[in-house]
């Protein structure tokens, strides 16, 4: 019985692993994709133990899924100079954001793209007013709001997609004019992320390029959600791959910085500092 169950379990695992690539067909694929590297590693280990035809198939399938993840985790050298962008989900219930404010200031940030700004942690804006005096906040459908804090003045009005977690504005950077975007997405299917993204994509396509976008996507780097937003804005995800959140004890990457195509962009993770998300400091250069 065990000899029959083990290959069957591996076959089921391979089917589920294949389904993690089906986000373009159904949003459930993105939800399953959260567990892709963990399932792939489990298949490799189980396949090596069981061996045989299905065992070696599990090893091969797991290694094929793990290879691009491990490659994305390789260290990347940051450009010597560039725009410094800090992304952070603040956690709406944080009462004292002083450590976060100190980290943003110490990192030399030019633009902070924040999510879950709230009445509890709203003192952060005043704490950073001297170094990031140009500030804009937009209502979000998730707890708190999305915000943009900038060293440089806004070029034109702040644009809010009220209720769908989007704020953007144009800035005149030393490298030229660019739009910066703060984004906060809902949890993936069966929660409201697919409908939210469908509402946001037409608006994102209208944002003038080049675009610098960062936020809490609640979606993995290989998801259709990240791919569709990158395509809509002419951007690519800044690496390397590092976990930003813990889901049931598993480290996952759901916070992202997207840089214009053709730009160099390298991120470094920052501590949680009271939030449930790690922040990111990204250096971007054309």
Give 172-225 pLDDT, tens digit per residue.
999 899 999 999 999 999 999 999 999 999 999 999 999 999 999 999 999 999
* DSSP letter, residue 73: T
CA distances from 113 to 1, 164, 256 (A): 55, 16, 11
Q: Rounded to whole angstroms, how far apart are CA atoms 101 and 94?
A: 12
Q: What is the mean pLDDT of the chain?
A: 95
pLDDT score of 18 more than 80: yes
Q: Are 187 and 220 in contact, with CB atoms under 8 Å apart?
A: no
CA distances from 34 to 64, 110, 158, 171, 260 (A): 16, 31, 33, 34, 25
Q: How many other C-beta atoms can be found within 10 angstroms of the C-beta atom of residue 162?
A: 11
pLDDT of residue 101: 98
pLDDT of residue 2: 56
Percentage of residues in the chain having pLDDT higher than 70 = 99
pLDDT of residue 3: 63
Percentage of residues in the chain having pLDDT higher than 90 = 90
The DSSP H or E segment spanning 103 is: helix 98-106
pLDDT of residue 171: 97
Q: Rounded to whole angstroms, how far apart are CA atoms 226 and 256?
A: 9
* pTM score: 0.95
Name the most confidently modeled range: 137-151, 159-173, 227-241: 227-241
Q: Are 180 and 154 in contact, with CB atoms under 8 Å apart?
A: no
pLDDT score of 108 more than 60: yes
pLDDT of residue 269: 97
For residue 97, name the pLDDT band (cuts at 50, 70, 90).
Answer: very high
Coil/strand/helix, residue 30: helix
Specify the range with the lowest mean pLDDT, choosing from 111-120, 155-164, 264-273.
Answer: 155-164
Name the most confidently modeled range: 1-10, 65-74, 135-144: 65-74
Q: How many other C-beta atoms can be found within 10 angstroms of the C-beta atom of residue 128?
A: 21
**pLDDT, average across residues 164-174:** 95
pLDDT score of 105 more than 90: yes
């Amino acid at each position: 019985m065990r000899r029959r169950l083990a290959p069957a379990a591996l076959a089921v695992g391979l089917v589920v692993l294949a389904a993690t690539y089906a986000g373009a067909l159904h949003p459930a694929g993105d939800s399953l994709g959260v567990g892709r590297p963990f399932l792939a590693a489990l298949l490799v280990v189980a396949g090596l133990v069981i061996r045989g035809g299905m065992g070696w198939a599990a090893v091969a399938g797991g290694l094929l899924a793990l290879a691009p993840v491990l490659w994305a985790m390789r260290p990347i050298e940051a450009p010597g100079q560039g725009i410094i962008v800090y992304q952070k989900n603040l956690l709406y219930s944080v009462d004292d954001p002083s450590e976060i404010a100190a980290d943003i200031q110490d990192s030399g940030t030019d633009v902070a793209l924040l999510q879950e700004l709230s009445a509890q942690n709203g003192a952060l804006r005043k704490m950073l007013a001297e170094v990031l005096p140009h500030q804009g906040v937009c209502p979000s459908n998730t707890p708190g709001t999305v915000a943009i804090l900038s060293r440089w003045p806004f070029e034109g009005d702040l644009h809010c997609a009220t209720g769908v977690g989007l704020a953007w504005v144009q800035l005149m950077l030393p490298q030229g004019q660019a739009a910066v975007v703060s984004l906060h997405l809902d949890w993936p299917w069966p929660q409201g992320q697919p409908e939210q993204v469908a509402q946001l994509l037409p608006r994102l396509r209208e944002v003038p390029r080049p675009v610098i976008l960062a936020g809490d996507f609640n979606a993995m780097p290989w998801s259709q959600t990240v791919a569709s937003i990158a395509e809509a804005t002419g951007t690519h995800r800044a690496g390397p791959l590092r976990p930003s959140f813990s889901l049931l004890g598993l480290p996952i990457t759901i916070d992202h910085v997207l840089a214009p195509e053709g730009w160099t962009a390298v991120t470094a993770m920052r501590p949680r500092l009271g939030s449930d998300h790690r922040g990111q400091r990204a250096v971007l250069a054309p």
